[in-house]
Amino acid sequence: MSNIPADLVYAKSHEWLRPEADGTATVGITDYAQSSLGDITFVQLPKVGATLKAGETFGVVESVKAASDLYLPAAGTVLAVNSALDGAPETVNSAPYDGGWMLKLKLADPAAPGALLDPAAYTTLVG
């Protein structure tokens, strides 16, 4: 059974978003996604300052099984990327919701997280 934290919202493409009160959010991939991918060997992330649309590809994660595009759950401007993943991409496997976060955004629309899946709906999706 996948770990699905109650304080996050989820995209159908298996990314999570942790919205903050200041209009920013942290993004990563779910426990289900990292488990499906297997051992992650490389993570490619956008540059700080990039402005991206919801649903747009923001990077790539490579594993021993496959390379998969990463899709942004909500539009925004990249404030920070997790540069620690450059030297330790396997952190996404061991701590997908903590040390394995991928980027921090300034949300274009602070209400956008409301359009994503709540934990119950995501649990139903991954069954």
pLDDT in tens, 18-47: 999 999 999 999 999 999 999 999 999 999
In-domain check, residue 4: no
Number of domains into which the chain is organized: 1
Residue-number span of the structural domain to which 101 is assigned: 9-109
15 vs 32: CA distance, rounded Å: 10
How high is the mean pLDDT of the chain? 96
In-domain check, residue 2: no
Query: What's the CA dihedral at 93, 32, 119, 110 to 10 degrees?
Result: 60
Residue 127 has pLDDT above 90, yes or no: no
* SS3 state at 97: coil
Burial of 47 (0-12, 13-18, 19+ CB in 10 A): exposed
pLDDT of residue 117: 98
Mean pLDDT of the 71-96 span: 97
Q: What is the CATH number for 83?
A: 2.40.50.100
The percent of residues in the chain predicted with pLDDT above 70, rounded, is 99
Specify the pTM.
0.95
Residue 12 has pLDDT above 80, yes or no: yes
